[in-house]
Amino acid sequence: MSKYHPVIGLEVHVELATQSKMFCGCPADHFAVSPNTQTCPVCLGLPGALPVPNKKAVEWTMMLGLALDCKVNLESKFDRKHYFYPDLPKGYQISQYDAPLCGVGKLGKIRIRRVHLEEDTGKLQHTTLNGKKVSLVDFNRSGVPLVEVVTEPDLTSALEAEKFARELQLIIRYLGISDADMEKGSMRLEANISLATSEVAKLPGYKVELKNINSFGFMKKAIGVEIKRQEEILSSGKKVTQETRGYSEETGKTFSQRTKEEEQDYRYFPEPDIPPMKYSNKQINELSNKIPELPNVKREKLKKLGLSVNYVEVLVADRSRAEYFEQALRQAQGKLAEPAKLIASVMVNQNLDQDFPEPAGLIRKLIELGKRKYVQVDEVEKVVQVVLKENGKAVQDYSKGKKEVLGFLIGQVQAGLKGQGNPRQIQEILVNSLSDDQN
């Protein structure tokens, strides 16, 4: 067992899905758009251009803070964060420093340090032109509203970091403020990692920042590799350099990018072109009332209905689908036996809800199916055994935890029965047979 334990904090950047950018009227949706076609003097940082804050972006940032149980500050301001890089045309980024929109909060057991709003940078594209390696800059992304969620260093493993990030993504999607799509870059993760000895309670005197994390799987690998690298350095009696590093899937290693900046290096000072923002408790309460029922509340409600963890997680993963289930359940009361489990089963295992845009249609279908005459149990059991023998890979996948293959197997059994099998009965027999195979 290692004598070191990881100390991990996350910085999560999310592009807000507003129609226009943070400080100008240019379109904010830049994905797959021709380079440098959505720019103006403001987002290009031309002399004399003045920024005007996007009210919707400010309100959405406060709503996210409220969803994370943060203290929303009644007074806030924007600041200039100075650094020089090709994707930052002004030579500074308009961000927030000592008076963010939202202060301390929490998500589960993980403390949130702050939730603040800033503008995104341009995007560099490294390529080869006429035989020369060049870096091109696309400023379409420059100025897009970017909310940053900063945690305290409360995370202790790559798995815990992944679970936190996934839950945060789900909350953001429930709020409808961003698609938080990591493949499109609208949600980006950075992890600050250091190691402490188990005997020492205080934080280590350094941290290594992993940047450019573009998927949850990528993050798990990168954090795991970096923890191992730091363990080896510390075990040899050396000190870990405070720096920013990237991760290469090709080599399976992290690599140095640059020495990590300190806060004083950015020379923060208040943005002179934007007045401080002030809000009342009434305005905060109005924003709070706009927040929908969040994933953790939905989970508890569904669990109380007696649904399995698998069903609950599948339904909660999509807000519209979870609400569809709840509407269907209300319409099924008094019309179906054990409606919660039946509706969840046909939604999760058969995607039957996809055939009925309105929950009422699904309920009518289930009532109709309930009136059908189904084949006998022994006939179902025979076909189940045939299907399991013919679909060995699906059986192996199920034993490895890929429960989604159950829907496929149910479909195969139903095909063998020519649609005359009771879906619930088929599922029950399949699950029992698969469980017997694993024992």
Distances (CA, A) of 20 to 40, 119, 296, 324, 408: 12, 12, 31, 31, 43
pLDDT(376) > 90: no
Distances (CA, A) of 289 to 66, 285, 298, 314: 10, 6, 17, 27
The tokens for 261 are 């900046």
Closest CA to 15 of 167, 164, 124, 172: 172
pLDDT(55) > 80: yes
Distance between CA atoms of residues 9 and 421, nearest Å:
52
Q: What confidence tens digit (pLDDT) does each residue in 177-209 have?
A: 999 999 999 999 999 999 998 655 578 889 999
Q: Amino acid letter at 439?
A: N
Strands 243-248 and 208-213: parallel
187: phi > 0 → left, psi -120 to 50 → alpha, else beta; which?
beta
Q: What confidence tens digit (pLDDT) does each residue in 58-84 have?
A: 999 999 999 999 999 999 999 999 988
Cα angle 175, 11, 162; round to 5: 75
Per the prediction, the chain carries an average pLDDT of 92
Distance between CA atoms of residues 47 and 357, nearest Å:
52
Distance between CA atoms of residues 66 and 63, nearest Å:
5
The pLDDT of residue 270? 96
Distance between CA atoms of residues 378 and 382, nearest Å:
6
Distance between CA atoms of residues 387 and 412, nearest Å:
7
Cα angle 318, 103, 320; round to 5: 10
> Mean pLDDT lowest for which of 237-251, 268-282, 308-322, 413-427?
413-427
CB contact at 8 A, 210 and 190: yes
pLDDT tier at 4 (50, 70, 90 boundaries)? confident
The tokens for 251 are 């080599």
Closest CA to 383 of 419, 413, 425, 410: 413
Distance between CA atoms of residues 260 and 244, nearest Å:
5
Q: What is the largest CA-CA distance in the chain?
A: 81
Strands 132-138 and 105-107: unpaired
SS3 state of residue 392: helix
pLDDT tier at 258 (50, 70, 90 boundaries)? confident
The pLDDT of residue 261? 66
**Cα-Cα end-to-end distance for the chain:** 32
CB contact at 8 A, 82 and 262: no
Q: What burial class does residue 129 get, using C-beta atoms within 10 Å of its C-beta: 0-12 exposed, 13-18 middle, 19+ buried?
A: exposed
Four-CA torsion 17, 23, 28, 31, nearest 10 degrees: -110
Distance between CA atoms of residues 32 and 34, nearest Å:
7
Distance between CA atoms of residues 88 and 142, nearest Å:
8
Distances (CA, A) of 267 to 53, 90, 91, 119, 428: 22, 14, 12, 17, 64
SS3 state of residue 288: helix
CB contact at 8 A, 119 and 94: yes
The pLDDT of residue 9? 97
Question: For 38, which DSSP code?
Answer: S
> φ, ψ for residue 403 (rounded to 5)?
-65, -15
Can you give the pTM of this predicted structure? 0.84
**What percentage of residues in the chain have a pLDDT greater than 90?**
73
Q: What confidence tens digit (pLDDT) does each residue in 380-403 have?
A: 899 999 999 999 888 888 888 787
pLDDT(256) > 80: yes
- HSE-up (13 A, CA, CB side) for residue 276: 12
Q: Which residues contact 130 (CB under 8 A, 6 or more apart)?
A: none
The pLDDT of residue 201? 59
Question: For 396, which DSSP code?
Answer: H
Closest CA to 359 of 372, 349, 346, 373: 346
> φ, ψ for residue 27 (rounded to 5)?
-60, 140
